[in-house]
Amino acid sequence: MRKTVLGLSAGASALASFFFFVACGTSGSGFGDPNGQNGDGGKPGELGSSDGAATDVIPPPIGNVSGKVTAPEGTIPISDALVYLTKTPPAPIPSTTYCDKCVELSSYAFTYSKPDGTFDLPVYAEGEQYMVTQKGQFRRVRKVSAGAGTLRAVPEDNRLPGKNDEAAGDTIPRMLVMPYAWDKVDRSLNKLGITDFESLQGFNDGPTASRIQKDPAELAKYHVVFFPCAGSVNNDPTSSGNQPYCSVGYMADKTVGSALKQYVQGGGKLYFTDFSYEYVRQNWPGFITWSGETSVVGSACGKGQSNGPAKFDDKGLDAWMQSIGEGTATLQGSYTSILRVNPMSSLDENGNTFTQTPKVWVSQLYSSSARPATVSFQDKCGRVLFSTYHTEAAGAGTLLAQEKALMHVLLEVSACVGVRPTPPR
């Protein structure tokens, strides 16, 4: 890992820093590692140190670092990323599924990036430190030499990693894209600058996909698994016994359902789109009610594509989309429609029962109503995410607004579960 000297904003030429992707203080943040070991303790800027933190009196910072967190492709700002300084490198992020609970940080030298990706990080000590930017399992770490005054970070060092390189301080979640027929999620990931993931392709990889879906140990090798829109269209259902309008991409196997639930409850994240909705409906029944659904598998498939104006229900997502000029975006390629989301009895990260209603991130506006289009819910340590529309509705190289929204929502649902720490005032 290279060392960076943070420069004065008043014209210093050696500017640098490092950052890695996350939305809250996680159990792998470095302030509290998965084994319960907190940082290095007793250093300036850390709780319990001799600089006044032990009595809850926070000394004034000697300076600050300003910068901007961007996506792996280098231009899209990342909001609500955790940025912090620590004297010791953060603990490695587990390479398999784990319960990523939010923890209290043992340092107050931390902040979160704004909707436009910018941040101001207080500095409490001079000398070599590690600067970390993290959102979920996306993380970049660089050794820096911090000092007094207003410091500026080098933009390239603020770019979040698109592949794993632990020796360099770069970590991203291990991701798997299941075979698809229509929604090319792998193209979206590439356009976002993410290149380190596994993708199973069509018929040839079908047996592998089937085996992985049934095996909790295989699923646990990945932090995120995508089930893009898959299946086939039946253009004339009335001629074949009033069958549904599609043959959905769904394995009606109890072994699959059990494995997927075990994976999510252990901390995995599942992302489904469009015709793959039956995975959610059958294995997490009741959370979402789809338009047209009956007891028949595939009954909620739409007769054709629906496009419509987007309404960003989540305040953080809305502020971010506004900041990147996509506040009036149109959702493209919806082939299913959600009528409503419903309150359901659930398990939290500690195994306690609570009632939750799936979070609506994005809605699609119709002539007389707005219907949920991207929703997520928690199942113990993990989360399930569903979108009615294709992530990548066209093959063009330009990023669609909904692909950018995917980046934001994916990072948010990959964040730690529980209550995140709040920076001191």
Burial class (CB in 10 A: 0-12, 13-18, 19+), 1: middle
pLDDT tens sequence across 270-326: 999 888 899 999 999 999 999 999 988 888 887 777 899 999 999 999 999 999 999
Model confidence over 194-204: pLDDT tens digits?
A: 999 998 876 56
- Terminal alpha carbon distance of the chain: 32
Q: Is the pLDDT of residue 260 over 80?
A: yes
Averaged pLDDT of the chain:
82
Instruction: Report whether pLDDT(42) > 90.
Output: no
CB-side neighbour CA atoms (13 Å) of 296: 14
Please list, residue by residue across 11-26, b when 16 or more beta carbons sit within 10 angstroms of its beta carbon and e when fewer do.
eeeebbbbbbbbbbbb
More confident residue, 3 or 223: 223
Residues 265 and 374: their CA atoms lie apart, in Å, by: 21
Confidence (pLDDT) at 334: 86
**CATH of region 1-172, choose from 3.50.50.60, 3.40.50.2300, 2.60.40.1120, 3.20.10.10:** 2.60.40.1120
Q: Which of 246, 253, 256 lies closest to 225, judged by CA?
A: 256
What pLDDT does 286 receive?
98
Q: What is the CATH architecture of 175-413?
A: 3-Layer(aba) Sandwich (3.40)
Strand bridging mode 127-135 / 82-86: antiparallel
1 has a pLDDT exceeding 70: no
Domain spans of the chain? 1-172, 175-413
Q: How much is the pTM?
A: 0.85
Q: Confidence class of residue 347 from pLDDT cuts 50, 70 and 90?
A: very high
- Whether 43 has a pLDDT exceeding 50, the answer reads no
Domains 1-172 and 175-413 share a fold: no
